[in-house]
Chain A
Amino acid sequence: MDIKAVRQSFPILDQEVNGHPLVYLDSSATSQKPASVIEKLDEYYRGYNSNVHRGVHTLGTKATDEYEGAREKVRRFINANSTQEVIFTRGTTTAINTVASSYGRAELGEGDEIVITPMEHHSNIIPWQQVAKASGATLKYIPLQADGTIDLKDVEETVTDNTKIVAVMHVSNVLGTINPVKEIAEIAHRHQAVMLVDGAQSAPHLKVDVQDLDCDFYAFSGHKMCGPTGIGVLYGKRALLNDMEPFEFGGEMIDFVNLYDATWKELPWKFEGGTPIIGGAIGLGAAIDFINEIGLEEIEAHEHMLVDYAMNRMREIDGLTIYGPDERAGLVTFNLDDVHPHDVATVLDAEGIAVRAGHHCAQPLMRWLDVSATARASFYLYNTKEDIDRLVEGLQKTKEYFGDVF
């Protein structure tokens, strides 16, 4: 991978922040966008902006072709069996809520169980809390190992014949843990439960094959993988999606509408009520092209190199605690002595270094870690060893600065 060329593809990186060259280490929150994606959006809005699947004019046809072309790109990207299994949503949150609402609330009742883990993002906890409350089902948690990993034995013990849904994140946005979702899906299926994988932190970084994982649902967001905000994907196995009621009702998703009744379009459109996220989907298609051109294997190897380097360098810092397992995806969540992570992030920002500080939408996990907040540096294909050197320097300065004032 030609890192210089990669960096040049991202116009935003070429700037100073607070008098220092920008070091962007917050890609787990949202990734930066390459020029090709920005240009694709520009091209759509300038050149052929139109509504899709209606009207017969030329621009409408072009927009429809591009929108449906993006769906095919997504299909290939995750190796879904058919484009009928690829539903465009607003993001991972909407994708999970679609399953919680259209599958969870419809299928679950008293005595049934939903199984998740304490490391989940709020978007894979709260929808299930709500399903449990509405249906009388029980929400159960697979316990975590001390290093923040999942032991399959615990999965075996938690999932029972009463379990109807198992929902687990592929990669933790806090710990960096890469969960054995394929093995968990196998256990779920042995109990006739369906398996949902929250892929928000895996789709941008790892080669994902939904047929190989054999998950029933896989949800991810475009904006974390070089695409625009406001676009995401729900993959679902066709048989399941076919039996599910739509999540939103209105235009675009209907077949026939009578005064007191209506029928739905076929998949995937029955889940895409209203004017779809046309620009977003086309932008996501361009992001997939960009990632494919570089190669996910290359990206994964680059991030692996970066995170190993970061772990080694950050361990040199006295008083720095790293959370999560050694073997991990490209992010490091940490705390520095008694300095609150907000204060760490503010000092780093003064040095032009962007990191995340807070609870990372994972309050139950923060309580499990017994901290109120943490700081996180997350890496993507455009980050370099120099970025990590700058981070380590910034952390040393943070220590000195707060050492002085205390």
Chain B
Amino acid sequence: MSFNNLDTLYRQVIMDHYKNPRNRGTIEGDDHMSIDMNNPTCGDRIQLQLQVEDGLVKDAKFDGEGCSISMSSASMMTQAVKGMRIEDALSMSKLFSDMMQGKEIDEQEFDLGDIEALQGVSKFPARIKCATLAWKAMEKGVDEQGQS
């Protein structure tokens, strides 16, 4: 593998999200849920906050520590799910997971936008968990809310 191959992982848009994360911080007030998730094998951590009203993700913010892939993925995820219906956010998460596993995905289903740049991660098996951390946190939050 050469450095050209690395470029399929570290796309410009990923580095941009890493350097200038969107929705980094915390949601004021207490009408939101908070999800802490970490990747115990490597130490990446994310605190995700979601504000859901009438089945719609009104706001999403994150904080945490991790590599370029995990933090840029969190930034992109919050950007994407803001304003989405919960079931759409979950479908998108499923699509993202498929994309990470290198499966064929229906690109018509969602406008992936910046997220498409993470496609190259599927070629780096050791880094897939970095990319999916924020999405798993979102799924966990929605799941827990559904139960309460």
**Tally of B interface residues using CB under 8 Å:** 24
In the docked arrangement, what's the CA distance between A110 and B10, Å?
54
Question: Does residue A401 face the partner (Cβ distance < 8 Å to B)?
Answer: yes
For B66, what are the chain A residues with a Cβ–Cβ distance below 8 Å? Answer: 340, 342, 372
In the docked arrangement, what's the CA distance between A350 and B3, Å?
7
Q: Which of B65, B68, B69, B127 has the most CB of A within 10 A?
A: B68
**A391 nearest CB across to chain B (Å):** 16
**B97 nearest CB across to chain A (Å):** 20
8 Å CB contacts to B: which residues of A342-376? 342-343, 346-347, 349-350, 357-359, 363, 366, 372-373
- Please tell me if the beta carbons of B42 and A350 are within 8 angstroms of each other in the complex: no
- Please tell me if the beta carbons of B3 and A401 are within 8 angstroms of each other in the complex: yes
For A405, what are the chain B residues with a Cβ–Cβ distance below 8 Å? Answer: 10, 12, 15
Known: A19-B1, A342-B127. A359 touches B42 (CB 8 A): yes
For A350, what are the chain B residues with a Cβ–Cβ distance below 8 Å? Answer: 1-3, 5-6
For A346, what are the chain B residues with a Cβ–Cβ distance below 8 Å? Answer: 6, 9, 124, 126-127
In the docked arrangement, what's the CA distance between A363 and B65, Å?
14
- Please tell me if the beta carbons of B15 and A406 are within 8 angstroms of each other in the complex: yes
- Please tell me if the beta carbons of A347 and B1 are within 8 angstroms of each other in the complex: no
How would you classify the secondary structure of chain A's contact residues: helix, strand, loop or mixed?
Answer: helix
Question: Does residue B45 face the partner (Cβ distance < 8 Å to A)?
Answer: yes
Question: Which among B1, B19, B69 is the interface contact of A342 at CB below 8 angstroms?
Answer: B69
- Please tell me if the beta carbons of B67 and A342 are within 8 angstroms of each other in the complex: yes
**Tally of A interface residues using CB under 8 Å:** 21
In the docked arrangement, what's the CA distance between A79 and B102, Å?
53
In the docked arrangement, what's the CA distance between A19 and B69, Å?
24
- Please tell me if the beta carbons of B43 and A358 are within 8 angstroms of each other in the complex: yes
Question: Does residue A62 face the partner (Cβ distance < 8 Å to B)?
Answer: no
Question: Does residue B130 face the partner (Cβ distance < 8 Å to A)?
Answer: yes
Question: Which among B1, B6, B19, B41 is the interface contact of A406 at CB below 8 angstroms?
Answer: B19
A319-356 interface bits toward B, Cβ cutoff 8 Å, 1 = contact, 0 = none: 00000000000000000000011110011011000000
For B68, what are the chain A residues with a Cβ–Cβ distance below 8 Å? Answer: 340, 342-343
Please give me the residue from chain A that is nearest to B9 by CB atom: A346
For B6, what are the chain A residues with a Cβ–Cβ distance below 8 Å? Answer: 346-347, 350, 401
The 9 closest A-B pairs by CB, nearest first: A18-B1, A342-B67, A340-B67, A359-B43, A372-B65, A358-B42, A405-B15, A373-B43, A350-B1
> Can you list 23 A-B contacts with CB-CB less than 8 angstroms, sorted by A residue number?
A18-B1, A19-B2, A340-B66, A340-B67, A340-B68, A342-B68, A342-B69, A342-B130, A343-B10, A343-B67, A343-B69, A346-B6, A347-B6, A349-B126, A350-B3, A350-B5, A350-B6, A372-B43, A372-B65, A373-B42, A373-B44, A397-B3, A405-B15
